[in-house]
Chain A
Amino acid sequence: MLASGIKSRPVYGRLTSNPQARSNIMVADAEGALAVLDMVADAPDGFWARTHILYVPGGSAAQDHGAKLAALAPFSWHESPTVPAMLPRLRALLGAARMGTQLYLAGTEPLIGEGIRVAGEFGVDHAGVRTEHRGSLARRVQCVHCKGITESVTMSIVPCAHCGRHLFVRDHYSRRIGAFQGVMIDAEKPGDRPPAEELYR
């Protein structure tokens, strides 16, 4: 679990099934599959038959978690190559969802962040989404200057993929954007940069 002094930093829990839910939408990436598989012991009867699963293998592709998820025999099942490729399917599921649908997000922080953001477009309150962080600490970072998003950031300082400025990655997190804030590290004195450290592997 991630912890931080900064209060905008989201807090994640452990994935547990909602027995009251009439339908479930479960989205996971990489090792998030393991959080889903860990629910099997406690899931109520018929749970998987009421559950849609969207999975993005990402860095865990070699481990074939997808086959184990498919073996749960969910109501629907889809594997997508990337998070952006998965989001239209999530939108379709949320658009068709009825009252009593529970959303679950498990895996990397960018996956959870994107899921919460998209769910927000459909009026789903973030507090009602069940989340569990697993796997990589890599971050999505928004450049506060040019507004471009840099993906999969593991270093404390990263060049913006869009404008090229060297960004210090703050712990300040926007749920609406689903990203951490990046601020130019050497704005005051160009070139005056401490060495980048790998903090978010």
Chain B
Amino acid sequence: MELAFNEETFRDDFTFRNSPHAIRRFPFPFHEDRYMYAVNIEPHVPGPKGSVYEFPIDVDEHYVSEMRDRALVLREDPLRCQALPHMMTAQWDLLELLMTAMARDYPEHFALTRDGDRWHWINRPLGLDQRFVFGDALTLPCEPMEYVTRQSQGDFALLDHRDGNLWMDAGMITTQADWSLDFDIGMNFFEWHGPVPLAHEMGVFERALKYLLELRVGSPVRRLNWTMTVNPRLDTSPERYPSWGPDRLSLTPDNIGRKLHLRVELQSFWRLPRSNAIVFPIRCYLISLEDLVTVPKWGRRLPRVLRSLPQQLVDYKGLTRYRDMALEWLARYDDGAATSPGGAPD
């Protein structure tokens, strides 16, 4: 399908919208009518044509506008992009991964030609044409991680592998669900997950870490995570909580269908070849309740899932103020019929 880029915003007037195609391909994260933490990691293998899994790095209709939003975030707060000095090799690994995948899978939009270390990158949607020497950061306008992730949707955390743990030692984080790179940089896997309730006791992080430490080059894995966001706002950082926190009180039974969004993160994990680091892209997809219930199965399932959540999860995900209102709005879309297994539309 021809990829056309929306002109839209994720702040102020919030003109973000999903096309019917984008709704259809939305990665609905609930495979059954309830939700609890699990180590739901699976191989990141190609999925059906048109799905968010068709290509390893998904570029969609929101690409150009998301990149513009990232630039706005960085202009206000450069601390959203940081790398500790020992991560330079991993930065180049990431640049290679993203450029080669985007050029291979979206040749009408991106092109990469390589002559030894001399690389030539063309990004047509953003109007960029850059020649540089791979491995020489001075030949790019900024460090390689920042350069390439200003051109790739989703947040990116670079994890150093040492002492049997993963250390978040670099990242580009501007579309996050309320966590701070500036605070968490340098933490290990257990530390940066410190605030998550229940999962530590369930042993989820021990098992997940064990799995990730075994990750091999060329065999990425993925999982979905989710929360909810009022307004289609990508930048729900703790830094800017004073500006988006009040949105939660703006919901009414009349506007909640339009304003409340399911926020799904497609998280993938890739071993990088030179640095042995792991890159952890966190790609955010947003869908309003109104759009979500156009898929009858999702309209039935979402209220059942929200009702099943333990209170600690409701609080941690920030749903406390509006869960009941959301359930009331969603109730009319649940006719009580059985739902099919898996997240895909029927």
Contact = CB atoms under 8 A, between A and B. Distances in A.
Interface in B82-108: none
B112 interface: no
A14 interface: no
B241 A183 contact: yes
A8 B180 contact: no
A183 B194 contact: no
Contacts of A145: 238-242
A183 to B, nearest CB: 6
Given A7-B190, A8-B194, A144-B239, A188 B246 contact: yes
| Chain B residues touching A, range | 20 to 34
A7 B200 contact: yes
Interface in A169-188: 170-177, 181, 183-184, 187-188
A144 B183 contact: yes
Contacts of A165: 242
Given A7-B200, A184-B241, A187-B241, A175 B186 contact: yes
B187 A174 contact: yes
Nearest to B183: A174
A144 B239 CA distance: 5
A143 to B, nearest CB: 10
Contacts of A127: 163
Interface string B183-210: 1111100111111000010000000000
A50 interface: no
A189 B249 contact: yes
**Interface hub of B180, B185, B321 (most chain A Cβ within 10 A):** B180
Given A147-B182, A171-B194, A188-B249, A8 B241 contact: no
Contact of A176 (B185, B200, B241, B242): B185
B185 A187 contact: no
Given A145-B242, A174-B184, A7 B249 contact: no
Contacts of A96: none
Contacts of B200: 5, 7
A9 B192 CA distance: 10
Given A174-B187, A181-B183, A8 B245 contact: no
B223 interface: no
B245 A187 contact: yes
A65 B200 CA distance: 41
A190 B191 CA distance: 31
A171 B197 CA distance: 12
B242 A184 contact: yes
Contacts of B239: 144-145
B100 to A, nearest CB: 33
A173 B180 CA distance: 12
A170 B190 CA distance: 16
B194 A7 contact: yes
Contacts of B182: 147
Interface in B50-94: 79
Contact of A172 (B79, B183, B190): B183
Nearest to A125: B163
A131 interface: no
A3 B143 CA distance: 40
B336 to A, nearest CB: 34
A41 interface: no
Nearest to B197: A5
A176 B192 contact: no
B85 to A, nearest CB: 11
A142 B194 contact: no
Given A127-B163, A172-B194, A189-B249, 5 more contacts: A144-B180, A145-B238, A165-B242, A175-B187, A181-B183
17 contacts: A6-B194, A172-B183, A172-B194, A172-B195, A173-B191, A174-B183, A174-B186, A175-B186, A175-B191, A176-B186, A177-B183, A183-B238, A184-B241, A184-B245, A187-B241, A189-B246, A190-B246
A-B complex: 7 closest residue pairs judged by Cβ atoms: A187-B245, A8-B194, A8-B191, A188-B245, A176-B186, A7-B190, A7-B194
